[in-house]
Structure 1
């Protein structure tokens, strides 16, 4: 049983983060090279705006804001799962090669396969999932030891090396491709949010609608997996089965997110850590908080990146990395 005081604290924290998220949405809506004045946002939402205001709001701003929030939520959830099943607070989909595997698959599909406009939006998350799945399968086999099972620390170490190798493969792939396609892949690698139409929202949303409730349903299993192997086996948990199911959910969440936002790391690292610091380590408590924090972090990074320069702006992935890299170093020093 979770104490009522902890549940009350979680709800208060979620209200505060939701307020931060809502405030950032308002700020992001009014900022940009083509801006909508803040006193015109509500009239425009109600259908009383000019053609220019409605175009900026409904065709440019809102789709990008929503897709950014959803992607941040997916990455945060993916990181929360990985940290639970590996029992390592430094685990994150961008760090152990999941994002890189998805990226290589997207690059191969984009560079060497015919693109059909009608199906591209819906196929690209599946392609990213396939690449991430194959990568994680190799990592899992490399980290599995008979009579011992999955070795979480080895999974992370092998994943880091594999991520670097996949980055090298990506460079080889784009080095001999035509300029237009290379520009797209380069922006993808930098974490430039490119899926900014409503159709990308409908492509990403089903993954979250299915996998967020699934993960919350499995939250208590994640708590048990966070214990020692002996303790988990002692309460009757089929460790490998649960790990594989949750790992697949983590892969799908990360792949669906990066397929429309590009190679964004550290959201899956920072969001769960901040959530745990606020409400404690119980997965039932911190995962909902982590989801909101992930959406807010990525939206904040994208808003800053879009408006920090007068040209095309700075990709959200770079802004997140500027924050996430020092945070990662801080965590390493804290654990040493």
Structure 2
């Protein structure tokens, strides 16, 4: 049973995060090359703005913000699940190579499978998922030992190795395509939010609608898997079955996110850690906070990045890495 004071604390933190998210989204809607003054925002939302105001709000900024928000939520939840099933606080879909696998899938699909534009948007997360799943299975197999089971440190090292190898595959792909296609993949690798249109929201949203409730439903199983294998076996949990099911969910979340935002790491590392530091390690408490935290962090990074440097700004993935890389080093030193 969760203590009522912790539940109350969780609700307060969720309310604070929701407020911060609304403030950040409002600022993000108003700032940019074509500024939209805050006194004109509500009339424009209500359909009383000029053509320019409505175009900037509904065709440029709002879909990008929603895509970024949903992707941040997906990456945060993916990281939380991976940390739970591997019992490794350093697990993150970007660090352990899952995002890189999804990237190769996106690149191959984009370059060699000409699909109608309408279908391309919806099939892209599927292609990313298949490639990321193959990568995750390979990493899992290389990290697993018959004697000691899944080894957390080995998982991170194997994932980093796969990430580097897949980056080499991307370079090989670069050498076989024209300049326009290379430019697209380079932007994707930098984490430049490219899927900034309404169809991309419809492409990523179903994955979240299905998998967020699923993860919350499995929260207690994640609690037990985070303890030890002997405890999990003692309470009657089929460890490998649960791990594989949850791994599929984590891979699907990460793949759906990076297929529309590009290669973004560290959100899945930072958001769960911050959430745990606020309310403790019980998944029922910190998962909802981690989801909101991930969405807010990515929207904040995107807002700062696209307005920091003219003319195109700094890619969101680089902005996140500037914050996340030192945080990763801190966690690494803390665990050593």
In structure 2, the residue matched to 1:46 is 46
Matched, 1:209 2:215: no
- What stretches of structure 1 move > 6 A for 4+ residues in a row? none
2:47 partner SS: coil
Measured on the aligned residues, the alpha-carbon RMSD in Å equals 0.9
How many Å separate the matches in 2 of 1:117 and 1:5? 51
How many Å separate the matches in 1 of 2:25 and 2:144? 44
In structure 1, the residue matched to 2:6 is 6
Which TM-score applies when normalising by structure 1? 0.98
How many Å separate the matches in 2 of 1:325 and 1:94? 11
In structure 1, the residue matched to 2:298 is 298
2:237 partner SS: coil
In structure 1, the residue matched to 2:114 is 114
2:84 partner SS: helix
Matched, 1:94 2:94: yes
How many Å separate the matches in 2 of 1:240 and 1:234? 14
Which TM-score applies when normalising by structure 2? 0.98
Matched, 1:63 2:55: no
Matched, 1:175 2:175: yes
1:196 partner SS: coil
1:17-75 Cα deviation digits (max 9, x unpaired)? 11000000000000111121110001111111111111111111110000000000000
Moved more, 271-280 or 109-118: 109-118
Retained in 2: the 8 A contact 1:149–1:240? no
How many Å separate the matches in 2 of 1:236 and 1:156? 28
In structure 2, the residue matched to 1:31 is 31
In structure 1, the residue matched to 2:325 is 325
Alignment of 1:196-235 (within 5 A): 196-235=196-235
Q: How many residues align?
A: 336
How many Å separate the matches in 2 of 1:271 and 1:175? 36
Alpha-carbon distance change, 67 to 19 in structure 1, aligned in 2, over 3 angstroms: same
In structure 1, the residue matched to 2:130 is 130
How many Å separate the matches in 1 of 2:143 and 2:329? 25
In structure 2, the residue matched to 1:151 is 151
In structure 2, the residue matched to 1:191 is 191
- In structure 1, runs of 5+ residues without a counterpart are none
Moved more, 141-150 or 125-134: 141-150
How many Å separate the matches in 2 of 1:273 and 1:303? 23
